[in-house]
A = this chain, B = another copy of it.
Amino acid sequence: MNADRRGSFIVSVGDLLASWNLPHATGRVYGLLLVSEVPLSLDMIAAELALSKGSVSTAVRQLDSWGLARTIPQPGSRRLLVEAAGGIASLLEASHARAKTLIAALREGEDLVSTDPARRRLEDVIGLFASYVDVGSQMLSTYRRQQERGKES
């Protein structure tokens, strides 16, 4: 049945966002939005995902604040429709920001150890982590550039 695949897709997206420390429920809402062809109301979301209206409300606001969803007010009603708004790029960038302050803190302590087997080990760990973050950042910025190009056409 197809509802199964839909369901497992949705929980996968939940896992994905959970790995960036968003609540699983919030991630599932995003997953649902991604596979929906049309914008959804909060009640529909709550019904399909078996969540309370309260949870859905906060989840949507979180998604909105991360740029993962946008809410469309309906003229003549208080009802909001919600749709996915592209990119997890902002999530990745946020975690990079955290990572960079972390790297700075590590560098700060780098000269606490001076003699050599330990010193090399330390530099190696910090260096690896730093270049890991770097390569991700680079990739993100080229992605951003491509996206801009796509828009202006």
Query: Residues of A with Cβ closer than 8 Å to B?
Result: 2, 5-6, 8-9, 12-13, 15-16, 19, 34-37, 84, 86-89, 92, 95, 98-99, 102, 105-106, 108-109, 112-113, 115, 118, 121-122, 124-125, 128-129, 131-132, 135-136, 138-140, 143
Partner of A8, one of B8, B13, B109, B113: B109
Contact between A106 and B136 (Cβ–Cβ < 8 Å)?
Answer: no
- Tell me the smallest distance from the CB of A60 to a CB of chain B, in Å: 17
Partner of A139, one of B16, B19, B131: B131
Give the number of copies in the complex. Answer: 2
- Tell me the smallest distance from the CB of A57 to a CB of chain B, in Å: 23
* Chain A contact residues, majority secondary structure: helix
A-B contact pairs, 8 of them (CB 8 A): A9-B106, A34-B113, A34-B121, A35-B109, A35-B112, A35-B113, A92-B132, A131-B139
Partner of A109, one of B9, B89, B140: B9
Contact between B36 and A108 (Cβ–Cβ < 8 Å)?
Answer: no
| Bound: A92/B99 CA distance, A | 14
Contact between A89 and B16 (Cβ–Cβ < 8 Å)?
Answer: no
Contact between B8 and A108 (Cβ–Cβ < 8 Å)?
Answer: yes
Known: A87-B124, A88-B128. A115 touches B37 (CB 8 A): yes
- Residues of B within 8 Å of A102, CB to CB, are 12, 15-16
